Chain A
Amino acid sequence: MKTWLIFFFLLLLPSFVFAQNQQILWQFDLNQDGSINDFGLEFFYFQDVSANAQDNTLTVKGQGKSYIVVPKGEFEFKDYNNLEITLKSDSDFELRTVADVQKTAESTYDMRYQIKKSDELQTYNFSLSRPYFKKDIENIAIIAVNQQLNTITIKEIKLTKNNSIKQVGVALKDFFVTDSYSPYTPNFFAIPQIFGRPTIAYLLPIIILAILFLLYSKKYKKTAIVILLIMWIVIDLRVSGEFISYAKDDYQNWIKPKYEEKVFRNDRDLYQFIDFVNNNLPDKVEMINYYSAIGTYDDTNRKLQYYLYPILVRRDSLNSKYYVVYKNASIKYNADDNKLYSGDEVLSDAGEVIASFNSTSFIFKEYD
């Protein structure tokens, strides 16, 4: 046993010795001419980016998706396995890491992280032990995703290389990362992964050995069965955790909040809107014209058809005097001629807005 321990220690020794190389990607620094060194970083879709000489930080303000792109410099991304960012934020937001954002922009659920609001600067580590970062990539992007305007204060961004012990911790952490429920989940759900690869791929040698012992060893066949069962149970517990996380998300965002604050997965407030339509359409209505967001993948018309049936959901039909608009900013009511316009085009005859859900969602009825 002792020999094994010494051997194991010797095996890990190099990783202690050569651990923790690092490459600074951003920290407060002045160029020779006194201007602020931007380290070649590029910023996209932020409303404001400013460096603060007083506390040596970088402040970025954004809403929706905003990108910090880190181009390849004198170094290769694949030489590092960790992205370390010291930051604070005035509200919760999602941080995503993406490889080669201008080309493939490959990202999976295990490259998304929830960052909590904090008053103090904190250091976060984002694993780059993912297949996408191991290729010859030109850049990586750090994407901030938030529903409302938020301010992120960054002290430092750097690449580091974890030692083997730390990587074991990263592997364990990876194994327990879960995804949220998506429209694709009934076809494929997020599987337990380690370093961006299926956990079962790492277990394969053990599975094969255990099966061999089970079939051919009289002495170890029972042990083999126990090992296989333990692996099965561990995967089961992990995947059950995935399902519990779906239930937890649904509870926090849909079941627990007050009616007006309820949000259901990526459908957001669609179900409140459906209630709104049901409550505000007169009983005699048999058909509506429905207009949802333009230019995005949108299947809310089919979903609305299911929920509103027997009311027929159509678009541009002359047989309906009712126009239901959901999250479509281009469709507007013109008070001058009492008509509905889609951009510059007239959409309806004269009528009135009979109920309003919000500025981009409402019900309009043509005059009889």
Chain B
Amino acid sequence: MIDILIITISYLVPWYLGWVVVSLLDKHDNLAYLYKLAVSFLIGIGLMTTIIFIYTWTGGNLVGRTLLPMMITPIILLEIIHFKFKSEFSFKKCYKEVKKIKEIIKWKKLNLILLTLLVIYVLSQSVLGAYQIIHNPTYDFDAWNNWNLRPKVIYTQHQLPMNKPNEFFLGGGIKSYPLNDPLLKVWQASLLTKWNENVINLYSLVFYIALIFLFYQSLPKIFSRTIKLISTYLLASLPFLVLHSRIAYADLEITSFIFLAYSALFMYLQTRDKPYLYISAFGLAFSIWTKNEGFALVLPSLIIFMIFLVISKQLRFKTSIKYLLTSLFIVSPWLLFRWLYDLDVLSGDSSSFNMIFQVSEFTRWFSLLLFRSHFSFLLIALFIIMILKIKDIYHSQSLQKMTFAFLLLFALYNFVFMFTDKSQSLNAMIRANMQIIPIAVLLLISYINKFFAQNR
């Protein structure tokens, strides 16, 4: 029980760190406080692991609970800065805002029922997941071969192993994998003062809930509450997402960061509120910091999307450069490290690939993605509407941008599987596509909202 309490604290500390940072970014308090709470969690986790990385890279030792004061210090410093600029501490603001949650009882009856059903649904999935995670050993291949092996090694050695030829370089497993996920677990093990995989593995479930919360908060204000609640259920019930909430992999983490990057960017393009742009930059940075797909696929997709926005005069060139540089600056410690240690860009321990068209795999790719229920019939519905309403989408500025951004991501992700020898028999294809699937849900709901209203 005490371990569960410590694990809870291990999430509250970075959440608080993220909250102060986001509060500082939101100079004029334009953002909704629940949205800020949702993004704070992810940003806090990414910032915390980046700090731990810099600390360990520069020779910092991880004996005992040394990381705790190291995390408290930046929070205090940032709170002082916050006080200087806004004349109050950010936690006070948070407390005031959280009290507003009472307003929920003013919601329409239907929405209250839907909210209750959604909460029951997510809770029941979470309880079942937690029960399994707490009782089961680490079973899945990439968990004991990479994602759990690395933090266990780093925690046991009390330092970051940096001898590249050694099999336990950066903790072992595949050398090029980024360290966001392992260092979160190192932080948790250091608070627990032991490696307890059964409570540490709860992180996937925490990210599942965090993603659902973020998704609801990221839905545009023009959507009715009913649509918001139903679409959040659609995301929460995606079979493959639910499955991964119980698996000690990093796919659900990168899924959350990619969604943060894209949803905040879409919000910025609609509202032109600068904090969204910074939040999106954090999302992009931490997707690079979580899995290699962030650097190899998400970054190029966003660069192409930026070029499209600049050419179509929807974004100033200066802003796009500022956005990309901010993002690269946030993740610069890892990029510098991977450059100095000559780490591979793609997943696996090789960046080389051959271009081949896997014709024989096309039917399987098509069937796995569309018909085999991993994402229910989300992609079928999305592509049918996209085809039928292509003209309307083209003429709607917001839908056009969202569609283009999603298709770019989708094309790049699946290009790797269909046209290179990196596909490894499509084994990781569904998992990789899961990383962009919340954006597909957002897009589908945006279509339905628009065309349902149009069809009157």
Contact = CB atoms under 8 A, between A and B. Distances in A.
Contact of A255 (B135, B139, B153): B135
B242 A240 contact: yes
Contact of B149 (A215, A221, A235, A309): A309
A35 interface: no
B376 A235 contact: yes
Contact of A186 (B244, B370, B381, B388): B244
A250 B139 CA distance: 12
Contacts of B246: 243
A306 B428 CA distance: 22
Contacts of B239: 189, 235-236, 239, 242
A208 B125 CA distance: 30
B243 A221 contact: no
Interface centre among B131, B370, B372 (most CB of A within 10 A): B372
A218 B456 contact: yes
B373 A192 contact: yes
Nearest to A188: B430
Interface in A145-176: none
B376 A265 contact: no
Contacts of B381: 207, 211, 228
A309 B153 contact: yes
B-side binding surface: helix, strand, loop or mixed?
helix
Interface in B353-376: 367-368, 370-374, 376
B113 to A, nearest CB: 15
A48 to B, nearest CB: 37
Contacts of A63: none
B243 A299 contact: no
A207 B153 CA distance: 49
A274 B368 CA distance: 36
B142 A199 contact: no
B136 A250 contact: yes
A203 B370 CA distance: 12
Interface residues of B, number: 55
A13 interface: no
B243 A203 contact: no
Given A229-B230, A235-B376, A221 B132 contact: no
Given A200-B371, A235-B377, A183 B237 contact: no
Contacts of B136: 250, 254, 264
A188 B374 contact: yes
B448 A214 contact: yes
A218 B230 CA distance: 21
Given A191-B374, A211-B385, A244-B128, A183 B145 contact: no
Nearest to B248: A186
B9 to A, nearest CB: 26
A203 B452 CA distance: 22
A192 B374 CA distance: 10
A208 B452 CA distance: 16
Given A240-B242, A310-B156, A254 B135 contact: yes
A201 B370 CA distance: 9
Contacts of A198: 367, 371-373
B431 interface: yes
A358 interface: no
A243 B234 CA distance: 17
A214 B372 contact: no
Interface string B125-168: 10010011001111111101100110011001100000000000
B149 A306 contact: yes
A120 B368 CA distance: 43
A189 B149 contact: no
Given A212-B388, A310-B157, 8 more contacts: A198-B371, A200-B370, A218-B456, A225-B452, A229-B230, A243-B242, A250-B136, A302-B145
Ranked nearest first, the 3 interchain pairs of A and B with the lowest CB-CB distance are: A306-B144, A239-B239, A191-B373
16 contacts: A186-B141, A186-B244, A186-B247, A188-B368, A200-B372, A214-B448, A214-B451, A215-B389, A228-B381, A232-B376, A235-B373, A236-B237, A240-B242, A306-B144, A306-B152, A310-B153
Interface of B: 125, 128, 131-132, 135-142, 144-145, 148-149, 152-153, 156-157, 230, 234, 237, 239-240, 242-244, 246-247, 249, 367-368, 370-374, 376-377, 380-381, 384-385, 388-389, 427-428, 430-431, 448, 451-452, 455-456
